[in-house]
Structure 1
């Protein structure tokens, strides 16, 4: 294993990168899949999160094995089922769009670190099919349906967190296409329309179920993924700061339970960096290392009312999030800015602020 040179070591303990990667490696299965922990299932999104952690630590063979596993099991329409366990599908009820799109984020992240264009060429078809599947579920208003059911019918509603994740994945997919010299203007228009919906059309989300606003991810994910930036991002984070942030502990998962979670705290750390609030980011991140176990894994969360770790699980994606936040803070790899900035090809149009419908965006694209 090649450990990157570590800067700003006051942000994490000695051996943090090595020990964290070792934990993920200890849970990865021979086929390349990375379950939440041994004996549990793997889902496409969290599998990619853990694989990105491996790449940060220089465990490139293991990371590539993780992407090969996804390529090998991708369905003909470009999607993946919600969960897999021990080489079999564990959940055939649905296929989630943000899970499917996230492979583009992982592939671009790996390329940013290694600079290996052959890797992009190898996994281009996987990314292309995944993104086309996701954008086929975009509505005329810009949001993207959250899933399809077992028969492939759209589950017609949208999630703020899920669509925000897709928004970042579309940025990564556009960069992959550009690096390979492939034009995908429909991806660019799809991303622009999705960003507009996230900023200006809150009524297009949570239409058929109770609002998910109690979840902290709905609060900070639009900042983490670049849908909000600058002063708008800072205002959004400040607006609900006291609901979700527990001083000295981290970020709650939901605003109505006394439970802070490590992964959400890591993602909030990166959102704060994206909003230019480094001091807050460092304070939150430094406090998370108390939940690292002797094997390098991190406990998922802590119920401060009961002074108890809960659940008693050390999830690989939590460790992946710790490594991603460490990279964002300490600039460990060339991918350190992935979640703290939006970087698109210079000739790619940014989000069109004045567009009010996907039809208008299509028209403006055809005229441009």
Structure 2
């Protein structure tokens, strides 16, 4: 686990790369996407850099489109990829719930709630009949266009997490959102029972652990899922491969697996993995993206904000230094178990279940 001084130095490395607009790009000169931007804001809250974090959150509010989505890539204020990605758009809900857990600032929750509401409404509208969520929507000029009607397992797992956070925020504000609850129940069922219906990205480690990280698969089932491919992705002493066939370990994926392990009670193994990946840390507290082995070459040759953010959040979860440590563990979040769909009918809940939420 990182010391308080190390957390402060790593947060400073994120702030150093934050743009004057509030945007937090991957690294200076590269693009900002709202998912990694929010992840960095969460880490800044953990480190006590609240002003910079809230500047980042307000950038998200200011750049959200009328339909609730964000462009996939923004460079220096210019949109370079206008496509809207559902899991990126949904993640603001997780960030705002995390901010509430740490800060208990009801005024800030009220300020961002309209943006979270528009975002999750847009995401829920793109849910597919069998429960997964379409991964993106293309834009034609200034207008939304074709929906890419296939679902990504990792992305939908993150959306499941965001829907839980959204429902928690809705409860906090007394503004029930039964549509999100229904979408979350259908999505949870798909992530537990119909993972074969998602696009096959099984060479990527994210598809392996994300159903656990996103909260749909927990307990013994979660531990079994992590055990099923551990030897394929985890390199002892170095971290987690991004892709199972490539000799490249990455800090962000390693830390996300730390968070997934912690969420299913594997805290000792999580702590060892976090320690293993500290070879990516620079003297100033910034983090390299990854390491190619056995050459021991950092690649790409850059420090990234999202890697630094993942390190802070993983360390916070293990140290329990802030109430935000629960955001991935999810004990403060509602579950959709009571609304699980029948295996014979994955495309819809019964009329009785719908009426029960009305």
Q: TM-score, with normalisation over the residues of structure 1?
A: 0.92
1:247-258 to 2 correspondences below 5 Å: 247-258=236-247
Change (3 A) 1:349 1:242: closer
Q: Which of 350, 355, 361 is 2:349 aligned to?
A: 361
1 CA distance for matches of 2:354 and 2:22?
Answer: 42
Contact 1:226 1:342 in 2 (8 A): no
Q: Secondary structure of 2:161's partner?
A: helix
- Output the CA distance in 1 between the equivalents of 2:129 and 2:30: 38
1:3 alignment counterpart:
none
Please state if 1:327 is matched with 2:316: yes
Matched, 1:84 2:64: no
TM-aligned CA deviation for residue 367 of structure 1: 3.7
In the alignment, structure 1 segments of 5+ residues that lack a partner are 1-10
Q: 1:299-340: CA deviations, max 9, x gaps? A: 000011322111111110110000100110001111101112
**Residues 291 and 360 of structure 1: is their aligned pair in 2 closer, same or farther, counting only changes over 3 Å?**
closer
What is the SS of the residue equivalent to 1:220? helix
Residues 333-358 of structure 1 show CA distances to partners (whole Å, capped at 9, x for unaligned) of: 11101112343359x76451635435
Q: Paired residue for 1:227?
A: 216
Task: State the SS of the aligned residue for 2:328.
Answer: coil
Cα deviations by residue, 1:206-238 (Å, 9 ceiling, x for unpaired): 1xxxx2001001000100111101110011011
Establish whether residue 245 from structure 1 lines up as the match of residue 238 from structure 2. Answer: no
Residues 317 and 332 of structure 1, relative CA distance in 2, 3 Å threshold: same
Mapped contact 1:142–1:357 kept (Cα < 8 A): no
Give secondary structure in 1 for the equivalent of 2:80. Answer: strand
Q: CA deviation at 1:269?
A: 0.4
Higher strand share: 2
Is the Cα contact below 8 Å between 2:190 and 2:346 reproduced in 1? no
Instruction: Choose from 115, 131, 139 the match for 2:128.
Output: 139
Partner of 1:20: 10
The reply on whether 1:53 has 2:43 as its aligned counterpart is yes
What does residue 102 of structure 2 align with? Answer: 113
CA distance in 2, matches of 1:128, 1:97: 14
- Per the normalisation by structure 2, the TM-score is 0.95
| Aligned-partner Cα distance in 1 for 2:28–2:305 | 10
Which residue number in structure 1 is paired with residue 193 of structure 2? 200
Instruction: Find the aligned partners of 1:150 and 1:158 in 2 and give their Cα distance.
Output: 18
Residues 1:318 and 1:364: Cα distance change in structure 2 (over 3 Å): farther
CA RMSD of aligned residues (A): 1.5
Contact preservation (8 Å) 1:27, 1:38: yes
Aligned mates of 1:19, 1:43 — CA distance in 2: 23
- Partner Cα distance (1:112, 1:132) in 2: 23
1:298 aligns with 2:298: no
1:171 corresponds to 2:171: no
Match of 1:185 in 2: 178
